[in-house]
Each structure stands twice: as structure tokens, then as C-alpha cells.
Amino acid sequence: MRTLRLGPLGITTHRRTLAVGLVLLAALAAVAIFALTSGQSNVTVADALRAAVGIPVGAPADFIVGHVRAPRALTAILVGAMLGLSGAVLQSLTRNPLASPDFIGISAGAGTGAVLTIWLIGATSLWVTAAGAITGALLTAGLILALSWRRGVVPLRLILAGIAMGFVAQAATQYALTRMDVHDAGNALGWLVGAVTGRTWTHVTVAAAMLAVLLPLILWHARSLRTMEMGDDAARALGIPVASARGVLAVAAVVLAAGAVAVTGPIGFIALVSPALALRLTRSAGVTLIPSALMGALLLLTADQVAQLMPSTLQFPVGIFTAAVGAPYLLWLVWRASRGGPS
């Protein structure tokens, strides 16, 4: 156990958690360098790094790395981190490993909000779409909470209400899809699977801005989160303002998920899997925020690299690959739970 201090932010952490964090960070850097240097045309590491931060190094690298690979890789890293963090907070708040924004309807609500802004007000700016996604996600979250609230919230009831609202939101999205013209609908469908191709520095800026605001906010409440895992009464006894801390954290998690949806479309399963993997690696007793975020970033960036390495006839959005890995994991979780194991 040791404490890292950075001004007012103190993070108490286990040695193992710290080591896992550093290993994940190193792996992330390695995959990121691979993402920047390799592809149709190879670029040296030094050139790639310089081009990525905007130092001109010559004709092909400036464009390929500076305008294509760097924004794409950074989008994947930031969105992966947002999803991992959002999943970790939600799973900790509900004390249930199955609660992730993509299954309890939050991502679907964000998708509906974004598609509706594109369809109804013809939004072309990413900031407007993001605002629509956040509005949609917060409304959905509010509805889920209202529907499952019965003298308090039972996590399982929350999950069922979330699944239901996910269907309602999807129906609304599909309605919008059938009313748009086929070109827009094709684009919207590609976006609804979740993709990081063709992302620009604007996407990176939106994702970075949201993470810059919400990461400190969540870390600030990290101690409350960990204490609340012991139960509300224990947390209250330790002087945690349970209701307000939970409200702030829930809104932050929902907004993070919505921001991720706005930037890349709903990429499934990262938010579900990352916290679970981070938990397993750190062997920590409760949720681990930073390792979950790093794990999300690493998973999404790696999935995107796998997607790029596929032959040209099998070029799919990254969301297909995360679902291909994540859905069997969820099925396994459910299967193991119905065998009487820990859920």
C-alpha cells in the first residue's frame, strides 16, 4: 500500500495495482507506436512520433500519420478509456459486474439522441451531435432510474429496466433510420456499429475535453466510490455523503458513455470487459478506475489494429470485433452464474 500525491489528488494504491497500471501503459504505448508506424506505407518511429505532434517531416508521413493514423489511434485510446472508466464506475455503483452502459440502455439512448439531432436539425458539427447524445443518454438514464425506483434501487431491477429502455431507444433509432434518405441511413448504420475510421482531430478534441473534465471529477470521488462498495450504511458511518456522491458519479459515468457514443458510435462490450479484466489483473478487492481506463484504451486500440490487419474483403468497423470477443464473454458470465457460481 502506498500513496501517490499530486497536489490535492491523493491516490492510495497497492503495489500490484501500480505495477499493472505501468504494464498496461507500456503495452498501450507499444500498440500506439505500432498503430502510427505500420500500415499501407511504413514510417519510421521517429518520423511517426514527430508527425503525430505536428512537426513536418516530409511528404507521406505528414499526411498519413498527422491526419489519418494519429487522430484514429488517439480516438481509439481516448474512447476506450472513457468506456472503461464509465463501465468501472457503473459496475461499482450497482455492485454488479453485468452493469455496463451498453447493456443498460445508456449507449442506445445516446445513439438515439445523436441520430435524432442528425435527422431533425441536420447537425453536421460533432459538438452538436455530442450534445444530442449526452441529452439522449441522460434522459434514458433518468427514465431507467424512474422506472426501477421503488423505495430505493435494486441493481437487478435497474438492469432489466435498462434492457427495456434499450429496446425502446433502439426502436426510436430505427424509426429515424427508415425516415432518413438511404445515403444518410447507410452512414448512420456504419456509425451505429461503432467505428474509429476517418476520425479527425475534432473527434480527438471532443473526447479529450470530456475526459479532461470528468476524469478528475471521478478520481476526486474515487474514495467515496470504494467506500460505498462496502454498503451504504458503512459509507455513511464513515462520513461519505452517499446520495450526492452517487449522483455525481452516475451522471459522470453516463456522460462519459454518451461522449464515447457521440465520437465513435456505440462500441459494445469494452465497458463491460475492461473493468472485469482490470479487476482480475490487479486482484484488487474493489473497482480499479485507472487500470480499467487503461485496459479500455488498450483493448479498443488493439481491436482497431486487428480490424485494420484484416484482408480488404473483411474490413469491418471495430465494433464488430469487440462484439465478437465481448459477447461470448458475457454469455460465459451468464452461463457460469446459472451454474451457481458467483454472479
Residues in contact with other proteins by CB under 8 A are: 98, 103, 144, 147-148, 150, 154, 156-157, 159-161, 163-168, 170-172, 174-175, 177-179, 182, 185-186, 189-190, 193, 268-269, 313, 315-317, 319-320, 323-324, 326-328, 330-331, 334-335, 337-340
Q: CA–CA separation, 62 vs 179, rounded Å? A: 41
| Residues sharing a CB contact under 8 Å with residue 54, sequence separation 6 or more, in sequence order | 66
Closest CB 107 distance from other proteins, rounded Å: 11
Decide whether 41 or 174 has the Cβ nearer to other proteins. 174
Closest CB 238 distance from other proteins, rounded Å: 26
Closest CB 334 distance from other proteins, rounded Å: 5
Closest CB 308 distance from other proteins, rounded Å: 15
Closest CB 252 distance from other proteins, rounded Å: 24
Decide whether 159 or 295 has the Cβ nearer to other proteins. 159
Decide whether 36 or 98 has the Cβ nearer to other proteins. 98
Decide whether 171 or 309 has the Cβ nearer to other proteins. 171
Going 136 to 153 to 274 to 335, the CA torsion angle's sign is negative
Residue 103 CA: distances (Å) to CA of 47, 72, 145, 163, 259:
41, 26, 14, 6, 16
Q: DSSP string covering 9-61, please?
A: EEEEE-HHHHHHHHHHHHHHHHHHHHHHH-SSS---HHHHHHHHTT----HHH
Looking at residue 4, the DSSP 8-state letter turns out to be: E
Decide whether 42 or 315 has the Cβ nearer to other proteins. 315
